[in-house]
């Protein structure tokens, strides 16, 4: 439950609500246009367990009174309101400010005030840039034009269409009066904002009309004559990647003005505070706790601008089948690029050996990927101990060779359980957790060139790998909306230990050993090391590639099967016939 008070700021009265224990650190939440403080209710209730949480209706909105004339909505007056509320609710300690949309724009004015910014312990900005920073950002792209820079500038200008509309006389107010009655439906349809009590507020019509003065009083003066606005306050930029109005490009170069900067992407739209309150609250908690002296989280470390580390610094990578071969090389490479790595393998001893070779940033775990329950327990352990991974590499697999007629049902079940269902279990265990985290990520599934190279020697193995390839393609479509990429890696002949463990159908133990030695010798002579496959896995993650054939023969087979599948099938029949004659 919240308590209510009124704070006087100049000619207006601001209605303030408070949650939690006043002896706890104060988190001050500032809403934007055309919202009221009610938009923060879900976030406030989550934060109130640990903080003194404060919201208020900004001047002219909700239950707060409105100033007379346009000048009463200038940024300087709005910043003064923020300081007045901060002084009233936390007179003896600085506050942690969190702001959204126009609340963020006006909070930037306060955060960059050289005389009073000491009243602010930290600042979390969501979908609301400093207008002066935007003015400089626009000038820089016009002064030294590049295709990329001009593209981002043009994109932002197109997404800011409402800013131009609000500069017109009469029409904006008339338009808003017609729209206000349906605003809740518009937010639900376009932004996915669930209907909730108190939002939009009953005052939405008047709030929207009065709020147009925010745009008229501040936009053109600040964009056309930008000031130098810097701050030493720690700043966390939460950047909704699907914001229809404030494009992610505006988050560029903010470190020029705020050197203590964390830039954190969130897979959400403009009203992320309403659609993803739990994730927003968690980001606020992590940041406030760290600025108050607590340890940095892995995700904060990853998102700190200018922090030392490799390309994957702060990211958590899970690799199955990492005790040897491609899995081990992949885990080692990611760790070398700054990532923390969970090294999983059915053989816990080999997982520990891989982890020990990597160092303290690697964590071993023993798991059978074909066991669905065990994989769920594994995912729970990863999240509880280390957090939600950004990258999952489903690498574990087994080899099975031999003609279809010689392959038993038991052998079929085992290869399907590991090679196909093991990948399915990995995706099922981690994808929902990655979606819920709203930070995007990547899933890599190891298929094989055998997925598109028909052969009478590998019918079971090829079937499972072809299924992994199609699973990856289908999952890529489904998870795109969550910002999660999916890649299928298709190596050809790679010098790994799989040749020493491959089972051969229809032969006795002595013949199986001979065939294994023969295959191992051929693969070793081919001399394509697993480290080169690992490099392609990193490439697939960074460039979000759908299908990556790795070895030269895999690339040739993939191209041939795409454009001349009949020729590939004919070649397979010729090879099979020649082999049969050779046996006779």
The answer to whether 223 and 251 are in contact (CB under 8 A) is no
Identify each DSSP E strand in 430-495 by its residue range. 441-446, 484-490
Residue 145 buriedness (CB in 10 A; 0-12 / 13-18 / 19+) = exposed
The answer to whether 420 and 480 are in contact (CB under 8 A) is no
The answer to whether 483 and 470 are in contact (CB under 8 A) is no
CA distance 258 to 429: 39
The answer to whether 396 and 468 are in contact (CB under 8 A) is no
Handedness of CA 281, 287, 290, 291 (dihedral sign): negative
- Which residue among the candidates 56, 461, 504, 561 is catalytic per the annotation? 461
CA distance 436 to 276: 9
Intra-chain end-to-end CA distance of the chain, in Å:
85
Give me the phi and psi of 239, to 5 degrees please.
-110, 100
> DSSP per residue over 191-257, as a string?
I-PPPBTTBS-TTHHHHHHHHHHHHHHHHHHHHHS-------S-EEEEEETT-SSS-GGGGTTGGGT
Where do we find the tokens 């914001």? 243
CB atoms within 10 A of CB 377: 14
CA distance 80 to 94: 15
The answer to whether 50 and 70 are in contact (CB under 8 A) is no
For residues 393-412, one letter each, b for 16 or more C-beta atoms within 10 angstroms of the residue's C-beta and e for the rest, the string is: bbbbbbbbbbeeeebeeebb
Q: Which two tokens stand for residue 545?
A: 């590639």
Q: Which two tokens stand for residue 392?
A: 């999952």
Question: Which residues contact residue 564 at a Cβ distance below 8 angstroms, ignoring those fewer than 6 apart?
Answer: none
Helix (H, G, I), strand (E, B) or coil at 258: coil
- Is 461 one of the annotated active-site residues of the chain? yes
Helix (H, G, I), strand (E, B) or coil at 399: coil
The answer to whether 357 and 332 are in contact (CB under 8 A) is yes
Which residue numbers are catalytic? Answer: 461
């Amino acid at each position: 439950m919240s308590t209510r008070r009124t704070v006087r700021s100049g000619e207006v009265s601001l209605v303030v609500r408070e949650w939690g224990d006043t002896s706890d650190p104060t988190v001050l939440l500032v809403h934007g246009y055309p919202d009221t403080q009610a938009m923060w209710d879900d976030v406030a209730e989550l934060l109130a367990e640990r903080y003194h949480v404060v919201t208020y209706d900004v001047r002219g909105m909700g239950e707060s009174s409105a100033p007379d004339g346009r000048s009463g909505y200038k940024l300087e007056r709005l910043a003064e309101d923020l300081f007045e509320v901060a002084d009233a609710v936390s007179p003896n300690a600085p506050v942690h400010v969190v702001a959204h949309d126009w609340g963020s724009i006006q909070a930037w004015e306060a955060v960059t005030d050289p005389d009073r910014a000491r009243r602010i312990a930290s600042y979390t900005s969501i979908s609301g840039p400093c207008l002066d920073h935007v003015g400089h950002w626009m000038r820089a792209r016009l002064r030294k034009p590049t295709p990329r820079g001009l593209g981002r500038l043009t994109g932002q200008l197109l997404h800011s269409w409402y800013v131009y509309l609000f500069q017109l006389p009469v029409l904006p107010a008339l338009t808003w009066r017609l729209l206000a009655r349906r605003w809740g439906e518009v937010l639900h349809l376009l932004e996915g904002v669930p209907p909730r009590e108190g939002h939009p507020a009953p005052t939405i019509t008047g709030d929207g009309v009065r709020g147009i003065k925010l745009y008229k009083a501040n936009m053109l003066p600040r964009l056309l004559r930008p000031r130098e606005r810097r701050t030493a306050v720690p700043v966390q930029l939460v950047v909704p990647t699907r914001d229809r109005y404030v494009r992610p490009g505006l988050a560029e170069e903010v470190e020029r003005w705020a050197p203590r900067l964390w830039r954190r992407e969130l897979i959400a739209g403009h009203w992320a505070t309403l659609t993803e309150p739990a994730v927003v609250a968690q980001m606020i908690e992590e940041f406030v706790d760290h600025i108050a002296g607590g340890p940095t989280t892995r995700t904060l470390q990853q998102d700190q601008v200018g922090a030392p580390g490799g390309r994957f610094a702060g990211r958590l990578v899970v690799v199955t089948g990492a005790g040897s071969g491609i899995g081990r090389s992949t885990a080692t490479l990611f760790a070398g690029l700054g990532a923390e790595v969970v090294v999983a393998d059915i053989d816990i001893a080999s997982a520990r050996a891989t982890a020990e070779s990597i160092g303290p940033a690697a964590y071993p775990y023993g798991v059978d990927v074909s066991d669905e329950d065990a994989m769920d327990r594994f995912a729970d352990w990863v999240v509880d101990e280390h957090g939600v991974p950004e990258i999952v590499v489903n690498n574990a697999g087994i080899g099975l060779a031999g003609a279809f007629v010689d392959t038993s049902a038991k052998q079929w079940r085992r290869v399907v359980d590991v090679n196909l269902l093991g990948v399915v279990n990995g995706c099922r265990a981690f994808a929902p957790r990655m979606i819920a985290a709203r930070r995007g990520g990547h899933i890599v599934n190891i298929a094989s060139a055998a997925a598109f190279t028909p052969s009478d020697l590998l019918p079971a193995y090829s079937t499972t790998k072809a299924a992994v390839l199609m699973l990856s393609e289908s999952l890529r479509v489904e998870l795109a909306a969550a910002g999660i990429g999916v890649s299928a890696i298709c190596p050809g002949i790679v010098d790994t230990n799989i040749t020493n463990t491959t089972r051969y159908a229809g032969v006795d133990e002595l013949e199986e050993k001979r065939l294994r030695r023969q295959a191992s010798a051929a693969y070793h002579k081919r001399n394509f090391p697993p480290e080169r496959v690992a490099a392609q896995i990193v490439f697939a993650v960074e460039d979000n590639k759908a299908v990556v054939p790795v070895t030269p023969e895999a690339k040739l087979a993939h191209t041939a099967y795409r454009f001349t599948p009949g020729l590939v099938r004919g070649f397979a029949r010729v090879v099979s016939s020649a082999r049969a004659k050779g046996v006779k």
